[in-house]
Structure 1
Amino acid sequence: MNYEDFFSIKDDWNLQIEGLKEEQFVHYGSNLLCGNGYLGYRGTLDEWDKEQYQACVITDTYDLADGKWKELSNSPNALTTELRVDGQKFGDYPEQDQMITELNFNYKYGIFRRKSKSKTVNDLEIVSERFASYDNLHLIANNYQISKIKKKKIELKLGINGDVWDLNGPHLENFKGEYDSQKNILYLKANTVESKIPLVTALSFKLIKGKIKNLKVENEKKSIYLLLNIEAEAEKIELERNMIVYSGNDRENPLSSAIKDAELTLELGYQKLKEKHQAVWDEKWKLMDIEIKGNLLDQLAVRFNLYHNIIAAPAHSEHLPIGARGLSCQAYQGAAFWDQEIFNLPMFLFTETETAKNILKYRYHTLNGARKKAKDLGYEGAFYAWISGKSGKELCPSFFFKDVISGRKIRNHFNDWQIHVSPDISYAIWNYYLASGDLDFVINYGAEILFEVARFLHSRIHFNQYKDQYEIIRLLGPDEYHENVDNNAFTNYQSQFALKKAIYFYYKMENEYPEKLQQLIEKIQLSESEVTAWQEISEKIYLPQPDQNNLIEQFDDYFDLEDTTAEVLENRLIDQEEYWGWPNGVAVFTQVIKQADIIQLFTLHDIFSEEVLTANYDYYEPRTQHGSSLSPSQYAVVAARLGRAEECYDYFKKSAFIDLMSTNKAVSGGTFIGGIHTAAAGGIWQLIVNGFAGMKIDKRGLSFKPVLCQDWKEVNFNLNYQDKKFKAVLGQNSFKLTAAVENNEILKFSVFEKEYTLKPGKEVKIKF
């Protein structure tokens, strides 16, 4: 597949699309998303609406409208535009061939720009630019220009359109719109259907060039518009406008906040708003950018993925999750999966540490939801939701897919058998502690999570008295094609790890913070016998070991399943839309797996020899379909650790272009799953830093085992480790670390198992 079929490259920050294709509308909207962690405005043209998947998803607006799917709500669109020239509607799809359109997106600042030239109206041009501000998270600023106007009658319909695209809605009701002619401000009030959250969308605007000759207000059932007759100035009309969104979860009086912001932003003007926004991004990129030398396409792809991982994170809040599709659409309900801790979080652990802390605090604030889920299923402690919204209650329905042949619903057990999400969170807390050295967080927040996860595992694990070992039965691991299995290796190892870390911090608190421990013991009614049980389970839990061929069985009796490949199974499908997994999909009784599972174990735990990694990589790789966007980056990391730089690079291309080249379907099993694959975006950071640079972290500190593919001459990235900042430069035969001058301590690390120290402002260069 050639990237020119989808876009062209302007430079290493800018993607360009020339000529729009209707089959790509879903992907345009996601890939060209303006976002800031609070809202996500899809990459659509000003005159498009829900038919072209226009949407602006707002965080913290969870609502249940259809009785099944609780998802984030879309704001009414305050940038809706209708242009008429001499009475003729401009750019009205499907009459798109009226104009030639070029789209440009700048990933350094998240700026969407469209340029359209009319083929029928004397080369009339429209240029529109917008961004979702990082200086004011409630703002989308827009500059809209019409040029080459030659004595034409120009009519503009501006306003706020409440008839929006919803996957499982509509989510808004009780619309009321008003226009303040003195301030040139419109607003539209509504509230969510189930949760009754007030939502206010405001619009302020001013003409920079041109003169309003006539203005009419048009109030519709769900919308409010202004109909403007405008006289051009020097054959040009230029308009600045600001879309402001507030919900009742942001402010007690969202309307007054929206109007205040609408006024202020109008006063500041587009250019000043843009400068303030860019200044925030400049600070972010100082730590988060990764520079690739030698391949311009790969450089743009890396920044595309970093950008989307950043804007998916609600860095402004400790009460909100990173959605599996971010804020690019409502798919996956704007909720957290295990993706959040295992794929999105690592980049923030070593760059924007406060954001990493907020992500983990979200899990602390949703403990009660995890406790409720455990109790409802007959367990103790905290069983975190497979799909977790604001409250932490389980959002994953029991019937997710549909049998496309019979039309019947398929019962999945993602919500009650996929238990590794809880120990995954414990794993993330430990890594945060290692990366930041922030023991206070663990004492005040993390320990309670660790103890409650250990308590859940204690209640979930079974003791096999005949084998004198603890086992975890009836579950599924990362490979979702195989449900109802016993002793999934990834889950068992991850569970032991979680138990050990709970024990570690229990005794650390007992020795160093006895009062804090006692308070926590009383709060959650923790007994010493439970801690003793955790210790026994961690020592006796069954951990599948490498066999005579160095292979680790993914779960009990996996090797007895039919040994075949995904290509063979493709030919067994009756319908291409069939779901491959439980209970009777084509992969269930075979060794074909959906995604990295044993390989996922290797990326998280450095406890196996290179011989074991090699044997399992070679065995599981041809049996993996990569039906999940999470998978390629993890195979890449292990390939790099094995010194297979070119295989790592092959997986880089599979992972980095999942969205850029639209390689994944927007609909699976009858369910819309489009939007940005945020876990794949986060996985690119891991692929480069943990893969090519070979970075690992443990109690001894940081270590590196670098290797680089032939297509790249050099990779530059920055890290923040325990408040010590440094820059890494990886070349074909060299690896250099340079410590920031402002560091207060010496950095200790190892490269190829040789130890080094790095003083502030100094560098170490290693040849290999």
Structure 2
Amino acid sequence: DKNCLLDIYTGIDTSVFNVGTVTEGKKRHFKVKEAGQFKDAGYLAVVTLEKKYVVIYWAGFYYEVDGKKIPASDNVFQLELKKDQSVKFTKLFFIKHFPYREDIHLYKERTFVRFSQAFRTDFNKLITQHIKKWDSVWRKVDILIEGTANLQQNLRFNLYHLLIAAPQDRGFSSIGARTLSGEGYRGHVFWDTELFVMPFYLYTLPQVAKNILLYRYRRLPKARELAKNEGYNGAKFPWESADTGEEETPAWARDFDSSIIKIQTHLYEHHITADVAYAFYRYYLATGDEEFLKKYACEVIFETARFWASRVFYNRTTKRYEIRGIIGPDEFHINVNNNAYTNGLVQWILSLGHTLFFYLKKRAPSSFSQLKEKLGLREKEVKEWVKIAKKLKLNIDKKSRVIEQFDGYFKLREIELEKTDENGIPLLPNYLKAKDLKYTKLIKQADVLMLLHILTNKFSPSVIRANYNYYIKRTLHKSSLSAPIHAIMAVKCEDMHRAYNLFNVSLRTDISNLYGNTQEGIHAASLGGTWQAVVFGFCGIEFIDDIISVTPKFPRTWQKVKFSLTYRGDRVEFDLTNEEVRVKIVSKKKKKTKVVVFGKPYSILTNKKYKFFKKGVKKEEYYY
């Protein structure tokens, strides 16, 4: 309406700090080494306090008035605008870190060249390049769902946050439990990364999955050190990992009822070591990368098998091996014996280590000899692994076929969950306190069902259904890791109403702030878990050896789902409804691939479209 004077403040804020743990105050992680202006741009050089990394920032700011582009010569200035006059502001920045050196002149020069190239480029051209790059990525990862409008938007919100969290540095970093979007868990890496998040990258952007695994491999020496310090053989990965691979778990934290509790996960939640080994082999199965198997995977799997062989206890009375003093995924029950998830996965890892030892010996004798000598591994030791695996305790009730979550679980207090919140999540009875949950059968998240999810082909449908029916009634879903896994298992057991409810909880975890703590960062596990619920759950995709299996079971509001996955170097395109499956395998080679569609086996050729129909489908089937 009239002339105005704008006060412009731009630049780089050096007053930032991080929030400490519950026993700490605010924390500052850097000191300013140098700051200044150079050729219409501002720069800042800081040095991190612990690792002494040098981080260089360049920032450029310009504004356009009446078509004239004017670079800002300072970070603080005033701009006078006349009535009806408009202004457009543009800011570009560049950030890069380096190893420490006292003289940073070369770092400044190198980064300024990269920054100035962008700063001199027309902004519309930058946007065009940006869109082109993002389009190429979205074509690989997008999932198109014909259903409710907000479903597509919410799903892409999850996919986007997975994409921007992807590490591209060949193992220098990984993905923290809250990605890079907040300070929750201080950026630490948990099992969430390998078990919940990595499958998304594995079947869409496999190089990112490889980077995640290289992060663990680069810290294998530290994992060996951790095992040795605790009196074990092989390698033990930390429950919470950061830069060095050392154990980073804090001593204290807030529980879900806001009480401050002592953290013991690093003392007992050792399944992380089996989780990492599982992820290495899963990468090999999905990519067929023999070099990766020889160079990285076998070493990790052998060293983790060694750890577990030294971690077990032989019970002379029962003549069974046991794993005592453990925490499974259900963290309500601490320091238990023979957790089903842990024992079941360890059993699989020990058998796998034995199989790979002789596979490598036969298929790659040179690599085998080198690795055998490097690790000092002998055949006698490896044969002991399979002996332990066969006798490792796993409690399965013969009559009900329910797997006991840990020794004594069936004898705990039964609590009936009568009320739920607006999302269908069970509410803790008012008379029950968080500290008393250990005396009950109530569990935090998928534990036995997590085992049945990741090793689903090792268990019969009747065992899966029996355990789902038993544990779903006793799960509080007090972790973002819980809803997506239970959604997948609900689909397997054709409990479609609950499957869709739990999927929606996972889908909306952060976009709707369902847990009330999204301000601490996006939940990485629910991002990856949501993708798994769509692909492995509702779309019914399974990769079994060299067979691709497809059995869609959609909720009522979904008409069609279209997406593509990467499998062993090929692109597999899916176009699915409840009654019809269209598949095309795009490959550089002409070959046959085995598929199972709606439970029936077929053999199809690459680079040809195939259409399969489900005969005799009822309209109301799989609807809730």
Same fold, TM-score > 0.5, yes or no: yes
CA–CA distance in 2 between the matches of 1:751 and 1:213? 62
Q: Quick check: 1:191 aligned with 2:47?
A: yes
Tell me the equivalent position of 2:138. 285
Aligned residue runs from structure 1 range 45-444, under 5 A: 122=1, 150-168=2-20, 169-180=27-38, 183-209=39-65, 217=74, 225-231=75-81, 235-249=85-99, 253-401=106-254, 410-444=261-295
Tell me the equivalent position of 2:604. 758
The structure with the greater share of residues assigned to strand is 1
Q: Quick check: 1:571 aligned with 2:430?
A: yes
Deviation string for 1:523-555 (max 9, x for gaps)?
122233321211211111112224311211111
Tell me the equivalent position of 1:24. none
Which deviates more, 376-385 or 606-615? 606-615
Deviation string for 1:109-150 (max 9, x for gaps)?
xxxxxxxxxxxxx5xxxxxxxxxxxxxxxxxxxxxxxxxxx4
Deviation string for 1:554-596 (max 9, x for gaps)?
111101111104667441367xxxxx3xxxx131110111001
Q: Quick check: 1:537 aligned with 2:388?
A: yes
Deviation string for 1:71-116 (max 9, x for gaps)?
xxxxxxxxxxxxxxxxxxxxxxxxxxxxxxxxxxxxxxxxxxxxxx
Contact 2:326 2:339 in 1 (8 A): yes
Tell me the equivalent position of 2:555. 709
Change (3 A) 1:233 1:245: farther
CA–CA distance in 2 between the matches of 1:494 and 1:230? 68
Contact 1:450 1:502 in 2 (8 A): yes
Contact 2:201 2:208 in 1 (8 A): yes
Aligned residue runs from structure 1 range 520-599, under 5 A: 520-565=371-416, 569-572=428-431, 580=434, 585-599=435-449
Q: Quick check: 1:475 aligned with 2:322?
A: no
Tell me the equivalent position of 1:23. none
CA–CA distance in 2 between the matches of 1:449 and 1:213? 56
Amino acid paired to 2:29: H
Q: Quick check: 1:699 aligned with 2:545?
A: yes
Amino acid paired to 1:387: E
Tell me the equivalent position of 1:42. none
Amino acid paired to 1:283: S
Aligned residue runs from structure 1 range 680-695, under 5 A: 680-695=526-541
Contact 2:232 2:310 in 1 (8 A): yes
Tell me the equivalent position of 2:359. 508
Amino acid paired to 1:691: G
Shift in Å, 1:234: 6.3
Tell me the equivalent position of 1:7. none
Contact 2:52 2:100 in 1 (8 A): no
Equivalent residue in structure 1 for 2:335, among 484, 488, 496: 484
Tell me the equivalent position of 1:87. none
Change (3 A) 1:741 1:369: closer
Contact 2:488 2:533 in 1 (8 A): yes
Contact 1:190 1:199 in 2 (8 A): yes
Shift in Å, 1:438: 0.7
Amino acid paired to 2:15: D
Aligned residue runs from structure 1 range 667-678, under 5 A: 674-678=520-524
Deviation string for 1:137-166 (max 9, x for gaps)?
xxxxxxxxxxxxx42122312211111142
Shift in Å, 1:346: 0.7
Tell me the equivalent position of 2:497. 646
Change (3 A) 1:366 1:215: closer
CA–CA distance in 2 between the matches of 1:766 and 1:343? 30
In structure 1, the gaps of 5 or more residues are 1-121, 123-149, 218-224, 575-579, 668-672
SS at match of 2:161: helix
Deviation string for 1:44-85 (max 9, x for gaps)?
xxxxxxxxxxxxxxxxxxxxxxxxxxxxxxxxxxxxxxxxxx
Contact 1:321 1:359 in 2 (8 A): yes
CA–CA distance in 1 between the matches of 2:190 and 2:225? 17
Change (3 A) 1:215 1:270: closer
CA–CA distance in 1 between the matches of 2:592 and 2:62? 54
Deviation string for 1:15-55 (max 9, x for gaps)?
xxxxxxxxxxxxxxxxxxxxxxxxxxxxxxxxxxxxxxxxx
SS at match of 2:4: coil
Shift in Å, 1:192: 1.4
Query: Normalized against structure 2, the TM-score is what?
Result: 0.90
Root-mean-square deviation (CA), in Å? 2.3
Shift in Å, 1:232: 5.9
Shift in Å, 1:654: 0.9
Shift in Å, 1:322: 0.9
Equivalent residue in structure 1 for 2:581, among 735, 758, 763: 735
Amino acid paired to 1:174: V
Change (3 A) 1:744 1:391: farther
Shift in Å, 1:256: 2.5
Which deviates more, 740-749 or 522-531? 740-749
Change (3 A) 1:255 1:614: same
Shift in Å, 1:262: 2.3
Deviation string for 1:499-541 (max 9, x for gaps)?
1111111111111212211211221222333212112111111
Change (3 A) 1:309 1:352: same
Query: Normalized against structure 1, the TM-score is what?
Result: 0.74
CA–CA distance in 1 between the matches of 2:291 and 2:431? 55
CA–CA distance in 2 between the matches of 1:514 and 1:212? 66
SS at match of 2:516: coil
Aligned residues: 595
Shift in Å, 1:214: 12
In structure 2, the gaps of 5 or more residues are 21-26, 420-426, 615-624
Q: Quick check: 1:603 aligned with 2:603?
A: no
Amino acid paired to 2:234: G
Tell me the equivalent position of 2:24. none
Deviation string for 1:230-260 (max 9, x for gaps)?
4569611112221211112499854223322
CA–CA distance in 2 between the matches of 1:326 and 1:228? 38
Contact 1:240 1:269 in 2 (8 A): no
